[in-house]
């Protein structure tokens, strides 16, 4: 029998899914390297339609079928594509875990991003955003143009490190240089590293090499961060320090489970019903140390780049669309005045929400996301085999004129409640959808909104001689710019 991964293109032809002729050995990788994800996906959708067979995956942008895959039949598509043994500690992270392991970890980690926990983290975010504002005012007073990508990267790194695993990176103030150096290695992709291409072209070989010590990620940086997080976990367990962050939530959960276990053991087992035993089996689950480190690294990597990208594109819009910037500023003045910016008040800024959503539509941080079929499945008129990879091309969906009128125009009013009600819910997927959507979405939006509101209160964003129009976008799966986003800021009058 032909293995799905090896013979995907033959399967696509046999079941009638249209798509490009497979390029020997490289598959679609050749075109991705040449054009980049954004352009390649858009070209494929325009040429072949909304269901495309492109080795080794199915590119799916049919919105009704997407709703089935992500929502109605999410139990069939509960996992993401994973290549074993290539990611070190990330093997234990939420984006990599499968089936029951994923469900268990997700249920334990989810409270980190509840309203109550986000409110508790808000003061930590506030401290970082104050430093961010100080940096903006320095640029304004010096009349110095700057690449806002760099500043936003420092802001999100400081926030994630502080709020999620209790580390003060202070990258906005250029402190803690050793830690920052290691953290940044996670985001420096070396395209001369042949292991990257082996991973894409020959996953089984990549997995074998992973067992022999090869890794996609920098091993020295992983070891440094892992040891650091381990030290923090141990200090929390010994009650030497306490913070409102992810690590503390995990340690508190462990201690609650331990206390409940002792209580349960004190009771007579004979009085325990089967349902009580099952409830206890669920209750006693905790994350291992490897899983805690895995989640911490996943949150850092996923949250750092994506939130920074959102903020950078948002401020680019502010500088290039001054009328929209003024409307956002007026809403902030009207709703907040000079009052303290609280968690509740940030959540009440409706026009700001619309502008952020339109930014995410035009510039979605992730170009694609994936799900894997755990069984044979009827995808519309196509019978696809177990193991089929469904890849969702977010950028073409967000720029499809069938879903969005004048998709290349920035129109925040698209996200008025009445307009949203007219659209298919799958036409807007910046954070994915279904049970495996982005768990940190609310955290990311909160840290972005807080920085935006505090910044627009004190400075106005303007174009400068190095501001590109239109922007030249990069080729990677996380949307970026080729040359940065260069802007100027001026102080607002008191």
* One domain for residues 166 and 282: yes
* One domain for residues 325 and 397: no
* One domain for residues 130 and 268: yes
Whether 148 contacts 487, CB under 8 Å: yes
* One domain for residues 164 and 253: yes
Last-in-domain residue among 429, 454, 481 = 429
pLDDT at 277: 54
Last-in-domain residue among 384, 413, 429 = 429
Q: Tell me the C-alpha distance between 85 and 200, whole Å.
A: 14
Last-in-domain residue among 386, 408, 429 = 429
Cα torsion angle, 185, 187, 188, 192, sign: positive
Q: pLDDT per position in the chain (494 positions), as tens?
A: 444 444 555 678 888 999 988 776 666 777 888 888 899 999 999 999 999 998 778 999 999 999 999 999 999 999 998 766 666 777 788 888 899 889 988 988 888 889 998 998 899 899 999 999 999 999 999 999 999 999 998 899 899 888 877 777 788 887 667 777 777 777 666 556 666 666 766 677 777 777 777 777 777 888 888 888 888 888 898 988 888 888 888 888 887 777 666 666 666 554 555 555 554 454 447 788 888 888 888 887 778 888 999 999 999 999 999 999 999 999 999 999 888 999 999 999 999 999 999 999 999 999 999 999 999 999 999 999 999 999 999 999 999 999 999 999 999 999 999 999 999 999 999 999 999 999 999 999 999 999 999 999 999 999 999 999 999 998 887 888 999 999 999 999 86
Q: Tell me the C-alpha distance between 443 and 449, whole Å.
A: 10
Q: Tell me the C-alpha distance between 51 and 59, whole Å.
A: 6
Residues at the binding site are 438
Residue 421, C-beta contacts closer than 8 angstroms, at least 6 positions apart: none
CA nearest 63: which of 74, 51, 52?
A: 51
* One domain for residues 148 and 47: no
Q: Tell me the C-alpha distance between 79 and 456, whole Å.
A: 40
* One domain for residues 145 and 222: yes
Residue 410 three-state SS: coil
* One domain for residues 322 and 462: yes
* One domain for residues 407 and 470: no
Residue-wise burial string across 309-339, b where 16 or more C-beta atoms lie within 10 A, e elsewhere = bbbbbbbbbbbbeeebbebbbebbeebbeee
* One domain for residues 122 and 243: yes
Q: Tell me the C-alpha distance between 54 and 22, whole Å.
A: 7
Cα torsion angle, 378, 383, 386, 389, sign: negative
* One domain for residues 88 and 53: no
Residue 406, C-beta contacts closer than 8 angstroms, at least 6 positions apart: none
CA nearest 458: which of 333, 298, 354, 276?
A: 333
Cα torsion angle, 307, 112, 449, 395, sign: positive
| CATH number of residue 476's parent domain | 1.10.630.10
* One domain for residues 150 and 166: yes
Residues at the binding site for heme are 438
Confidence (pTM): 0.89
Cα torsion angle, 22, 28, 30, 36, sign: positive
* One domain for residues 227 and 305: yes
pLDDT at 245: 84
Domain total of the chain: 2
Domain region containing 236: 73-366+430-491
CA nearest 356: which of 430, 300, 265?
A: 430
């Amino acid at each position: 029998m032909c293995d799905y991964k090896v013979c995907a293109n033959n399967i696509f032809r046999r079941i009638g899914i249209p798509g490009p002729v497979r390029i020997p050995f490289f598959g679609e990788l050749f075109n991705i390297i040449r054009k980049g994800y954004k352009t390649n996906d858009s070209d494929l959708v325009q040429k072949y339609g909304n269901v495309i067979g492109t080795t080794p995956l199915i590119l799916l942008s049919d919105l009704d079928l997407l709703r089935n895959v992500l929502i109605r039949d999410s139990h069939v598509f509960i996992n993401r594509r994973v290549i074993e043994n290539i990611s070190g500690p990330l093997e234990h992270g939420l984006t990599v875990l499968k089936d029951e392991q994923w469900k268990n970890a997700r249920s334990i980690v989810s409270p980190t991003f509840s309203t109550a926990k986000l409110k508790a983290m808000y003061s930590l975010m506030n401290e970082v955003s104050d430093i961010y504002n100080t940096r903006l005012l320095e640029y304004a007073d010096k009349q110095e143009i700057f690449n806002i990508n760099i500043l936003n990267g420092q802001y999100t790194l400081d926030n994630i490190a502080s709020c999620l695993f209790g580390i003060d990176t202070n990258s906005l103030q250029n402190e803690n240089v050793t830690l920052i150096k290691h953290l940044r290695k996670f985001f420096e992709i070396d395209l001369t590293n042949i292991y990257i291409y082996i991973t894409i072209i020959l996953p089984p070989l990549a997995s074998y090499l992973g067992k022999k010590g090869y890794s996609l990620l920098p091993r020295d940086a992983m070891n440094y961060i892992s040891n650091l997080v381990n030290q923090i976990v141990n200090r929390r367990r010994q009650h030497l320090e306490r913070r409102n962050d992810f690590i503390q939530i995990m340690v508190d959960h462990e201690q609650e489970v331990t206390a409940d276990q002792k209580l349960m053991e004190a009771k007579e087992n004979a009085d325990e019903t089967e349902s009580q035993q099952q409830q206890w089996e669920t209750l006693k689950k905790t994350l291992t140390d490897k899983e805690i480190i895995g989640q911490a690294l996943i949150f850092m990597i996923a949250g750092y780049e994506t939130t920074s990208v959102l903020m950078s594109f948002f401020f680019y819009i502010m500088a290039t669309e001054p009328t929209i910037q003024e409307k956002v500023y007026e809403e902030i003045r009207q709703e907040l005045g000079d009052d303290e910016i609280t968690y509740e008040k940030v959540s009440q800024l409706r026009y700001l929400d619309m502008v952020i959503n339109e930014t995410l539509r035009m510039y979605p941080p992730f170009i694609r996301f994936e799900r894997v079929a755990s069984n044979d499945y009827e995808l519309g008129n196509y019978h696809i085999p177990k193991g089929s990879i469904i890849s969702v091309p977010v950028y073409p969906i967000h720029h499809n004129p069938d879903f969005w009128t004048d998709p290349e125009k920035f129109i925040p009013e698209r996200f008025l409640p009445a307009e949203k009600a007219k659209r298919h819910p799958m036409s807007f997927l910046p954070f994915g959808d279904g049970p495996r959507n982005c768990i940190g979405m609310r955290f990311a939006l909160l840290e972005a909104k807080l920085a935006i509101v505090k910044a627009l209160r004190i400075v106005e964003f303007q174009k400068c001689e190095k501001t590109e129009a239109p922007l030249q976008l990069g080729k990677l799966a996380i949307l970026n710019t080729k040359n940065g986003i260069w802007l100027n800021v001026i102080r607002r009058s008191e």
